[in-house]
Homo-oligomer: A and B are copies of this chain.
Amino acid sequence: MNTAEKIRLKGIKATPQRQLVYEVLEVSCHAPIDEITKKVHTKNPCITVASIYRILDSFCEVGLVSLLNHPGGKSYYDITPTMHHHIYTDDNKVLDYVDEELTELIKNRLREGQFKDLNIEQILVQIFAKK
């Protein structure tokens, strides 16, 4: 399945601008918007910043990407193929931490206790660490 199809699958139009942004996201995890913009502009400098914001917005709405909120700074976008957690290091990097078992463990833990009635949709663990 190519990029255009992936986008169309979510019910939004597959414009060339959107395809380009999507392809940039695919190769750059946890990218802040200014980095995304830079990379997009190397391929096509005509795409407006406003458009990139709108494109990322629409991607968020349909669930193609998720908005990370990196502490102390700007917003980061992350493509969302599989559930994963994040490790924030002191040198401002974000590492993926895939641990499906941990996710399940937390879910089970929540099924007991005061919050057992909640309908859990997602669990994200953020780990802050020094290298």
Q: Name A's interface SS.
A: strand
Which of A10-18, A20-28, A44-52, A112-120 lines the interface with chain B? Answer: A112-120
The answer to whether A120 and B128 have CB atoms under 8 Å apart is yes
Q: Which residue of B lies closest to A89 (CB)?
A: B118
Q: Which residues of B contact A126 (CB under 8 A)?
A: 69, 123-126
Q: Which of B68, B71, B97, B128 contacts A68 (CB 8 A)?
A: B71
Query: How many residues belonging to A are interface residues under a CB distance threshold of 8 Å?
Result: 35
Cβ of A78 to closest chain B Cβ, rounded Å: 10
Residues on A lying within 8 angstroms of B by beta carbon are 60, 66-73, 75, 87, 89, 95, 97, 99, 102, 105-106, 109-110, 115, 118-131
